[in-house]
Each structure stands twice: as structure tokens, then as C-alpha cells.
Amino acid sequence: MDFQELIAFFGRHQMLSLIFAGLTGGIILNEIAGLLRGFKVLRPAEVTALVNRENALVVDLRPIADFDKGHIPGSKNVQMSQFDPENKKLAAAKSLPVVLVCKTGQSAGDAAKRLKKAGFEHVHVLDGGIGGWQQADLPLAKGRG
């Protein structure tokens, strides 16, 4: 297929062309937004590697009752209502990678922005939250510790 045939195709299929252009634009904007947000969204396997290789601190932002029912082994619970970048559990980890976990990944994004503003350099969010962790069939610890 040469360039002339491609132009002819777009001319014959204007609706498909508009959909293609819209989807392409949306993907580009999403990638740019991801670069500008200041933190990285990690898949569960990437979180596991980061914890094992770089001693990352995993912070679970869910309510304590949800944390007790099941959390990522080794994670610390700091409830979103008490989340403060200067919290003693967090301030000591300013030089370490920090992975934030919530139920779906939304609240963790807000907390990640606050950590970046407070000077944390290596801030990450678990993609899909604890639900994403469970979908990856990774283990959960129960109780407080």
C-alpha cells in the first residue's frame, strides 16, 4: 500500500479515519499526562521486583479494617485520612522508593502527588490498587503485621 492508496482509503472511510485520529490523539495525550504526573504506575510484578531489589516501602492507604482483611506482605498502613508526607513512617523513607496502594489506584495517585511535592523522589502507585494485586494472584497477609 502506498501513500496515495492510504489517502484514498481515508477519503472513502471518513468516519473510520476520524475514530482512528481520535484514538491516536487520546493515546498520545494519556502518555504525555503520564510523563507529567511525576510518579510512575507499576504493575504488581514490578512492585514485587522493586521491593525485592531496592527495599521499597509499600504504604497501604486503605482503612485499617480493609488492611487487616488482606494486604501486601510487609506493607505499612497509613490511612488516607491521616496521610501526611511528614508522617514518621514515611519521612524516614524519603530516599527509598515508595509504592502507594489503595483499593483501586485512584486515592494513591492523589497521595503520590503530595509525596512528590514533599520532596520524595521515587514515588510509585500500584496499578489497579489491591484489586490489581489480587488479580495477579499474588499473596496477601492478614492482620496487622
pLDDT of 69-106, one tens digit each? 999 999 999 888 888 888 776 777 788 899 999 998 78
pLDDT at 33: 67
Q: Are residues 10 and 71 in the same domain?
A: no
Identify whether residues 77 and 14 lie together within a single domain.
no
Cβ proximity of 114 and 107 under 8 Å:
no
- Do residue 44 and residue 63 come from a single domain? yes
CA 81: distance to chain centroid? 19
In this prediction, residue 130 carries a pLDDT of 96
Residue 145 confidence (pLDDT):
60
Residues 4-56 pLDDT 10s: 888 888 889 899 888 988 998 888 887 776 666 778 899 999 999 999 999 99
Which residues contact residue 91 at a Cβ distance below 8 angstroms, ignoring those fewer than 6 apart? Answer: 85
Cell 516501602 identifies what position?
57
Question: Residue 142's pLDDT band (boundaries 50, 70, 90)?
Answer: very high
Domain limits at 87? 38-135
Q: 25: which 3 cell numbers?
A: 490523539
Residues 76 and 11 in one domain: no
- Domain tally for the chain? 2
31 and 42 housed in the same domain: no
Any idea how long the chain is?
A: 145
Residue 132: pLDDT above 90?
Answer: yes
Best CA proximity match to 129, nearest among 107, 98, 144, 96: 107
